[in-house]
Amino acid sequence: MAGLTLASPSVERRTYSPWRETWRRYRRHRLAVVSAFLLLALIAAVVFGPFVWRVSINDIDFTSRLEGPSLAHPFGTDDLGQDILARMIYGGRISLAVGLAAMAVAVLVGTLIGALAGMSRGALGHALMWLTDLFLSLPQLPLLLLLIYLFRDGLKAVFGPEGGIFILIVLVIGGLRWMPVARLVRAQFLSLREKEFVEAARALGASPLRQVVRHILPNAVGPVIIAGTIDVAAAIIAESTLSFLGLGFPPDTPTWGRLLFDAKDYLDIAAHWAMFPGGAIFIAVVAINFIGDGLRDALDARRVI
């Protein structure tokens, strides 16, 4: 099984820097490239949107309630006559930021703990798995209520009402979603650390850190990327649950998840209300997933492209 070491067809390509090589490989994945642009476009839309679409997010107008898309309201209105497009733009900032940041927290913490647990053969490994089991068994709702109760006012005082809540939400969502990542990474590590190429590196005197970073991690990255991309969707949805518990942003702050939640009872009266936030979450998720696929293929050194 000597072939398990990196199979590289052409030596001269090694002269590229690894980043350029990754980028070259990434570019070959058409959907991934398109998705990257799509995601950038979404981000640009929510960042610059308010300068173009200057309708207030919470102007109540009882005369135009539950209206379908029109020129005045391209995405229609909700049951208080508020403009859904403006709310989508505003909410997109929060939803995308929360989704991406929470995913980053989950992936980083999960990978770190999983890698440590996977490499350690002693008490540390057991302790980290215990921690993972503990977090998996904690009932989230009481924990959330407790966290709001303990930290809301403190964070609000330090980071201001919006910033404090944002940090809290990202930490809470990320902090409650890293466990599957940790378990997946650990499982991969347990298997990979015994493989010949790692043994070879070890025999050559590679430090554990080098073994991990250069040899094991790149081969364990597949499930991590998938978990990360799924977490983005989960975090956007989880945010809506949080605001429903009073942990999220103030109740009049629209986010994609919350718009979808509010719209659900009107699904047979005003389908557009649910369609736009649902569609936006879907597009973001698809884009992030294809970017993930592209990254995975690009990072997979064995694959010849």
Partner 1 sequence: MLDTELRTMINEVKDGRMDRRAFVQRMLAFGLTAPMATQILAVGGVAMAQSPAPYKPTKRGGGGPLKLLWWQGATLLNPHFATGTKDQDGSRLFYEPLASWDADGNLCPILAAEIPSIQNGGLAADGKSVTWKLKPGVKWHDGKPFTADDVVFNWEYARDPATAALTIGVYQDITVEKIDDLTVRVLFKNPTPFWADAFVAVVGCILPKHLFAEYKGAKSREAPNNLKPVGTGPYKFVEFKPGDLVRGEINPDYHMPNRPYFDTIEIKGGGDAVSAARAVIQTGEYDYAWNMQVEDEVLLRLEKGGKGKTVYSTGGDIEFIALNFTDPNTEIDGERSSIKTKHPLLSDPAVRKALALLVDRDGIQKHIYGRAGRTTANFLNGPEQFVSKNTKWEFSVEKAVQVLEEAGWKAGADGIREKDGKKLKLLYQTSINGPRQKTQAIVKQACRKAGIDIELKSVVASVFFSSDVANPDTYSKFYADIEMFQIPMTQPDPAQHMRRFHSRFVATKENKWQGRNFPRWVNQEFDAAIDAAEAETDPVKRAALYIKANDIMWQDTVTIAVQHRLKVGAAVNSLRPVLSGWTNDTDNIQDWYREA
Partner 2 sequence: MRQYILRRLLIAVPSLLGISLVLFTVLALAPGDPFAELVTNPNVPPEVAAALRTKFGLDDPVYVRYLRWLAAMAQGDWGFSFVSRMNVDTLILQRLPTTLYVIGSAQILALLIAIPVGVFAATRPYSIFDQIANTLAFIGFSLPTFFTGLLFILVFSITLDWLPFVYTTDIKATGFRWVIEQVRQAIMPVMVLGLFQAASMTRFVRSAMLDVIRLDYVTTARAKGLGQARVIVKHAMRNAMIPVVTLVALQMPAVFGGAIVTEQIFRIPGIGSLLISSILSNDTPVVMAVTFVFACLVVLFNLIADVLYGWLDPRISFR
Contacts of 22 (CB under 8 A, 6+ apart): 298, 299
Q: How far is the CB of 60 from partner 2 (least distance, A)?
A: 25
Q: How far is the CB of 138 from partner 2 (least distance, A)?
A: 6
Question: Which of 188, 211, 243, 255 touches partner 2 (CB under 8 A)?
Answer: 188
Residue 66 lies near partner 1 (rule: CB under 8 A): yes
Residue 250 lies near partner 1 (rule: CB under 8 A): yes
Question: Which residue's CB is nearer to partner 2, number 49 or number 125?
Answer: 125
The span from the CA of 132 to the CA of 170, in Å, is 19
Per partner kind, with CB cut-offs from 5 to 8 A, the member of partner 1, partner 2, none near residue 260 is partner 2
Pattern 205-224, partner 1, x by CB under 8 A: --------------------
DSSP letter string, 214-281: IIIHHHHHHHHHHHHHHHHHHHHHHHHHHHHTT-SS-TT---HHHHHHHHGGGTTT-HHHHHHHHHHH
Q: How far is the CB of 230 from partner 1 (least distance, A)?
A: 27
Contacts of 257 (CB under 8 A, 6+ apart): 95, 236, 237, 238, 239, 240, 241, 243, 277, 281
Residue 161 lies near partner 1 (rule: CB under 8 A): yes
Distances (CA, A) of 296 to 22, 82, 197, 224, 253: 10, 42, 20, 10, 36
Q: What's the distance, CA 267 to chain centroid? A: 27
> Angle 27-181-197 (CA atoms, 0-180°, nearest 5)?
70
Residue 149 lies near partner 2 (rule: CB under 8 A): yes
CB 2 within 8 A of CB 297: no
What's the DSSP call for residue 212? I
DSSP-derived 3-state class of residue 158: helix
Strand partners, 246: none
Residue 281 lies near partner 2 (rule: CB under 8 A): yes
CB 193 within 8 A of CB 219: no
The span from the CA of 49 to the CA of 281, in Å, is 17
Residue 65 lies near partner 1 (rule: CB under 8 A): yes
Under rule CB under 8 A, which residues in 260-279 are in contact with partner 2? 260-261, 264, 267-268, 274, 278
CB 281 within 8 A of CB 39: no
Question: Which of 23, 30, 58, 208 touches partner 1 (CB under 8 A)?
Answer: 58
Stretch that binds partner 1, among 22-30, 113-121, 162-170, 250-258 (CB under 8 A): 250-258
CB 171 within 8 A of CB 96: no
Question: Which residue's CB is nearer to partner 2, number 86 or number 148?
Answer: 148
Residue 1 lies near partner 2 (rule: CB under 8 A): yes
Per partner kind, with CB cut-offs from 5 to 8 A, the member of partner 2, partner 1, none near residue 93 is none
Residue 305 lies near partner 2 (rule: CB under 8 A): no
Tokens of 163: 């910033």
Interface residues toward partner 2, by CB under 8 A: 1, 3-4, 7, 121, 126, 129-130, 132-134, 136-139, 141-143, 145-146, 149, 179-180, 183-184, 187-188, 190-191, 194-195, 219, 222-223, 225-227, 229-230, 233-234, 237, 240, 257, 260-261, 264, 267-268, 274, 278, 281-282, 284-286, 289, 296, 300, 302-303
Interface residues toward partner 1, by CB under 8 A: 58-60, 62, 65-66, 79-80, 145, 149, 161, 244-246, 250-252, 262, 265-266, 268-269
